[in-house]
Amino acid sequence: METPEILVETLALERIEVNLFRGVSPEDGPGRIFGGQVIAQSLLAAYETVEDRICHSLHCYFIRPGDPRIPILFEVDRSRDGGTFTTRRVIAVQNGKQIFNLAASFQVAEEGFEHQAPMPDVPGPETYAAEADAQKAKMLENASEEMRRMMNRPRPIEMLGRDNYGFGRKPKPGEPKSDTWMRAVAPIGDEARMHQVILAYASDMNLLSTAMRPHGVAWQTPGLQSASLDHAMWFHKPSNFNDWHLYTQDSPSASGGRGFVRGAIYDAKGELVASVAQEGLMRLKK
């Protein structure tokens, strides 16, 4: 059995200069860099210039497709170091051109008012796990060789959902909502920032497929063009991402060749640990 990818190692950066870092992509990944990878590495680069503060929000744009065959350079701009908040901007570069940029804000830990939306009442991961093998076997029946390779490759993030929408050429239309349990497979360690970084990596998963649901299209639909355009994330509370988290998503709008999706991430105790929003290209070529 193949060993799952260890994200702490995959996302690790080499420091080249005070504010300049280099990262690489997995050798057996897809033909373009996964958006969650460049989000996570950019956040990690920002963290390398911040002390004793935790990220509470990030906002980013995907500008060009990344090439997984060559390294990525991450340039950090130390925008501001304030009494409570620290701001960083990160530019990811390949071949002398920006492929991605990120702005992140970090805060000194403090107490304050608290409230949250309740976690949706959905079955636990053990229920979805019982159905997962049967779902995978059904999806593999008519899958292409490339799709078989992708689905059988050990994944660094374990994900359990009820219907795994997004695989297949002509899925049945449904509501623009999804609920998925997820967790990191390999141990992350004790650093709170690494749990955030890997949660940010996973936050880019399944979003656009939620916006596709009402339209009966998926990643394998012939002629479908899709790509993340921008991504925002707010960290509300620390969490241990080696434990199960519920990622609940809904898409209130699709228009102009774009789909918009909102996400909420809860830990197994029902604590809302992060919120996500993303808009992506979603176009069917004639």
User: Is 251 in the active site?
Assistant: no
**Cα angle, residue 271 at apex, residues 270 and 277 outer, rounded to 5°:** 105
Which stretches of 145-221 are DSSP H helices? Answer: 145-152, 192-202, 207-212
- Which of helix, strand or coil describes residue 254? strand
d(CA 60, CA 77): 14
Q: Which helix (H) or strand (E) holds 118?
A: none
Which residue type sits at 32? R
Active-site position among 25, 178, 203, 228: 228
Do residues 267 and 239 touch, judged by C-beta distance below 8 A?
A: yes
User: Is 228 in the active site?
Assistant: yes
Backbone angles phi, psi at 62, to 5 degrees: -90, 120
> What residues does 159 pair with on adjacent strands?
182
User: Is 226 in the active site?
Assistant: no
Active-site position among 37, 179, 204, 239: 204
What sign does the CA torsion over 52, 56, 61, 62 have? positive
Catalytic residues: 204, 228, 278
